[in-house]
Amino acid sequence: MVNPSKITEGGVEYSLGKFDGSYVHYDFKKILIYLNAKGKLLFGKQFKIYKEDKTILLKLISYFLRDKDNCKKYGLDIEKGILLSGPVGCGKTSLMKLLRHLAPRQRPYEMIPCRNVTFSFNHLGYKTIEDYGNTKFFCFDDLGVEPPGRFYGKDLNVMGEVLLSRYELYLETRKRLKTHATTNLNAEELEERYGNRVRSRMRELFNLIAFEKSSRDKRE
C-alpha cells in the first residue's frame, strides 16, 4: 500500500506527517524540511525557506494538501485557484513551482509566463485564447505586466480574454477546473489593467494570498 505521508526525492525519503491507514496527519515542520530540500534540488543550493514567509506557506500548504479545517480557518475555498500577489522578487514564482510537488497524486498545473501567452497571440491569433482557455490546469506567471496583444492590427487584452474563457469553463466543469496566477499588482491595479468585468470573475476564480508590501527582494 502506498503511504501518502512519504515522498522520496534524490534517494531520500521525507515524511510529511503520520498516516493512520485512512488519513494523513500532516506536520508543518516536516513539510518545511521537505520543501527546503526540494527547493534546493529545483533552484540550487542558494534556495531557502524564509521565516517571514511562514504565514503565506501555511496557507499555501493547507490549500495544496486540501486541509479543509485549515482552509476554513484561513478563508480559502479549495474549489478556487490561487492568486499569489506580492512585490517583485518576494518568491511567488518559486513557491508556485515548488508547491505543485507537494501533492503528486493531484492533477499538476503548468507554469506559463503571461508574456508568452501574449507573444503567442501576436503570432498565432485567436487560437491562443482557445489553447489557454481549455481544461488544462495552469498557473499564469506575472499577470498584469505582459505586453499588449495585437494581431493583424487589432488590439486585444489577451490575458483578460483567457481569464474570461477559463471562468466560463470553471462554471461548466462544476468548478473542477483550476487556474492559478502570480502577480505584482494589487486589486485596484488589476481592475485598471483588465476592467471591472474580468476583476469580478477573478474574485470567483481565485483565492487571494498576498505577501506584505514590505517583503524583501530575495534575489538580491
pLDDT tens per residue, range 50-108: 999 999 999 999 999 999 999 999 999 999 999 999 999 899 999 999 999 998 888 89
So what's the pLDDT on residue 170?
94
Nearby residues of 73 by Cβ (< 8 Å), 6 or more positions away: 62
pLDDT in tens, 106-152: 889 999 999 999 999 999 999 999 999 888 999 999 999 999 899 98
Whether residue 35 is contained in a domain is answered as no
Whether residue 31 is contained in a domain is answered as no
Whether residue 60 is contained in a domain is answered as no
Q: Which domain holds residue 156?
A: 77-210
pLDDT band at 22, cuts 50/70/90? confident
Whether residue 46 is contained in a domain is answered as no
Residue among 114, 95, 131, 119 nearest 185 (CA): 114
- 87 SS3 class: coil
As for how many domains the chain has, the answer is: 1
Packing angle, helices 158-172 and 114-124, rounded to 10: 100
Whether residue 204 is contained in a domain is answered as yes
Predicted TM-score of the model (pTM): 0.93
Whether residue 96 is contained in a domain is answered as yes
**What share of the chain in percent tops pLDDT 70?**
99
So what's the pLDDT on residue 1?
57
Tell whether the model's pLDDT for residue 163 goes beyond 60: yes
CB 27 within 8 A of CB 17: yes
So what's the pLDDT on residue 213?
83
Whether residue 10 is contained in a domain is answered as no
Cross-strand bridge partners of residue 179? 138
pLDDT in tens, 164-200: 999 999 999 888 899 999 999 998 999 999 999 999 9
Whether residue 71 is contained in a domain is answered as no
**What CATH code is carried by the domain that includes residue 146?**
3.40.50.300
So what's the pLDDT on residue 151?
92
